[in-house]
Structure 1
């Protein structure tokens, strides 16, 4: 989907401050200083710290506001329809409805900093992905020396019946997005993983290898939680003898330590050790501060700007930004094992969410 790169109503002089052909970061900063303060929405509380650091760096006023993933879409829609925009910048964490609703309604647009574009993979520029959050398969390092499984199909077998912890796909739409992305782009790898494990090709009436795996996982009655925190505790709590395997965001590894959890990243898992979910940087088409908003987007794409989030294992789309030394998950050493997310098919994820939720609901063994 092509994004609008400039506000048609903005003055020509202001537009030139972010124009790709004549881009000048100093001119953008100067133009931003003549604009009203900005407000930034994100689903992480760290946006408060990031906005404060941005304001201090550039001598501007910026306020970070935590808005839950589930509330972002509705809040932006209501503000836009009322003509009373508060959020100048939104890091959209629920990508499918953002792409399917907010962009077509003309409420949000994307902009990729011209001076950083060469460092951002082409598939992450339009819309621009600020950060990707790895969701990884984990195990208890106090009990196991290495990950106890080497293939995701093992998680559908009796040994792991009621022993896999993960968020409930009925309450966490990103999980159904993961299912759909897998089926659309990596179904052959799910089928190949089956054959690698069992020694014979997969035979299924489900229509895809992904559906066959999702059905088998649901039928194996995983422990469904309402947060990564609960899943992480089930997997990594110390003192267990027969702990869960689990799926969770790398941020949970912050709780690792002698008096905390014992979480380990399952590496070399066939076909993927986890999957990535993007946070997309968007700008309100009704903002009174188009230059400051774009400057903030650029700031998020720098090592300094994203540091509070990269410490949790989240990864900048800017390939020049290194992994954070405080990340305890080690996921940056295994990026080739993570299933990527394609924003090109985000609207398909949105259209099929209910279908995947129904499929999970029907097959889940209580």
Structure 2
């Protein structure tokens, strides 16, 4: 009886293994077919043809009723909508303001349910999620006509279609400090900064964790930065695999003030004239110096080994979008049209943001993009390693 049961069990295990393997092998052609269909749709929609704005305008009116739907992470799309509809009579932009944390979930849920609402997506790539789970699967398509992107540095077009870049900076209060009080990421591990620096919670903020994961990728540079800061080589503890991990552990031991939003960070630093705190926040918050009169300033050029990473705000066409001609027309408009300085780019061309087109005149008073020491994001590395880095942070939080 036992022998019979053993034979039956072994048969079931072998059968299950073969069946599972067969299912996996069957899934691969299905995924390949889906990707091929997506590429066919993109070709038929003319995403590779470089049709002019006027031709797209005509086709959008004649075949799509002049409608285009955009999901955007920026409330500034309202200004783009108003200008676009004024410049292209008969066109209607249906714009949805969606947080960056919710965008991918909404898009994925709708797409898998067979719902095709959005034509254009404007979001921010931070951890490789869009590249690996949307573009690689044919859910999103790049649209990069030569008349718009012909003069753009090819490195910015390799993965996604860039609208503009933002980064993060260490802010300080100008009533307390005449210049940046720190110039090295290791400075905030010193005793004199204990409890005096603010960051947004990385466990709930993908961009912060992406920066820290990039530190791990560049752990050798973090080790060199330690020596520049302390004048000696770093000695790692047993629970510090690299200098970047040591930075995480020692920063958390130095009592950082952790806040839930970057609005709280910049307010705590810049409101009033007495705050001796420094805070790490998006470069876009530099606008609060003018908008709210806060006493803030930055000097990212002095930071060692880097001031941050460039986060790309990208635009994409959704596969099987209901209005592909309108989508292409809107993207061209958002990039400033053929001359790069049209009304569509103006809402995004502000202090703390950088467009990629050399034709576009940068925002007055902006720190030059090339003046900042930045680590480029390795999306595949972040996608594969972010969770491990997050678990390490959680261990010492």
TM-score w.r.t. length of structure 2: 0.81
In 1, Cα distance between equivalents of 2:387 and 2:41: 38
In 1, Cα distance between equivalents of 2:196 and 2:375: 26
Counterpart contact for 2:141–2:318, Cα < 8 Å: yes
Asked if residue 103 in structure 1 is aligned to residue 135 in structure 2, the reply is yes
Give 2:93's aligned residue: 62
Q: CA deviation at 1:139?
A: 0.7
Unaligned 5+ runs, structure 1: none
Q: CA deviation at 1:275?
A: 2.8
2:279 is paired with a residue whose SS is strand
1:315 is paired with a residue whose SS is coil
Give 1:123's aligned residue: 155
1:28 corresponds to which of 56, 59, 76: 56
Q: CA deviation at 1:231?
A: 0.3
Give 1:281's aligned residue: 315
Asked if residue 256 in structure 1 is aligned to residue 289 in structure 2, the reply is yes
In 2, Cα distance between equivalents of 1:262 and 1:71: 32
Give 2:70's aligned residue: 40
Counterpart contact for 2:198–2:258, Cα < 8 Å: yes
Question: Size of the alignment, in residue pairs?
Answer: 350
Give 1:179's aligned residue: 212
In 1, Cα distance between equivalents of 2:85 and 2:375: 33
2:224 is paired with a residue whose SS is helix
Unaligned 5+ runs, structure 2: 1-34
Alpha carbons of 1:359 and 1:243: their partners in 2 closer, same or farther (altered >3 Å)? same
In 2, Cα distance between equivalents of 1:208 and 1:134: 25
In 1, Cα distance between equivalents of 2:216 and 2:125: 19
Give 1:339's aligned residue: 374
Q: Is the deviation greater in 213-222 or in 131-140? A: 213-222
Higher-Rg member (1/2): 2
1:220 is paired with a residue whose SS is coil
1:338-357 equivalent positions in 2, closer than 5 A: 338-342=373-377, 345-357=378-390
Q: CA deviation at 1:258?
A: 10
Q: CA deviation at 1:56?
A: 2.0
Q: CA deviation at 1:338?
A: 4.0
Q: Is the deviation greater in 202-211 or in 82-91? A: 202-211
In 2, Cα distance between equivalents of 1:293 and 1:88: 6
Q: Is the deviation greater in 246-255 or in 226-235? A: 246-255
Give 2:12's aligned residue: none
Counterpart contact for 1:48–1:65, Cα < 8 Å: no
In 1, Cα distance between equivalents of 2:154 and 2:303: 27
In 2, Cα distance between equivalents of 1:65 and 1:54: 15
Asked if residue 315 in structure 1 is aligned to residue 354 in structure 2, the reply is yes
Instruction: Identify, as 1 or 2, the structure richer in helix.
Output: 2
Counterpart contact for 1:140–1:235, Cα < 8 Å: yes
Q: CA deviation at 1:116?
A: 2.4
Asked if residue 305 in structure 1 is aligned to residue 305 in structure 2, the reply is no
Give 2:30's aligned residue: none
Asked if residue 79 in structure 1 is aligned to residue 113 in structure 2, the reply is no
TM-score w.r.t. length of structure 1: 0.87
Give 2:224's aligned residue: 192
Alpha carbons of 1:134 and 1:338: their partners in 2 closer, same or farther (altered >3 Å)? farther
Give 2:267's aligned residue: 233
1:93 is paired with a residue whose SS is strand
Counterpart contact for 2:308–2:373, Cα < 8 Å: yes
Asked if residue 359 in structure 1 is aligned to residue 371 in structure 2, the reply is no
Counterpart contact for 1:236–1:263, Cα < 8 Å: yes
In 1, Cα distance between equivalents of 2:394 and 2:308: 23
In 1, Cα distance between equivalents of 2:327 and 2:164: 17
2:309 is paired with a residue whose SS is strand
In 2, Cα distance between equivalents of 1:172 and 1:101: 19
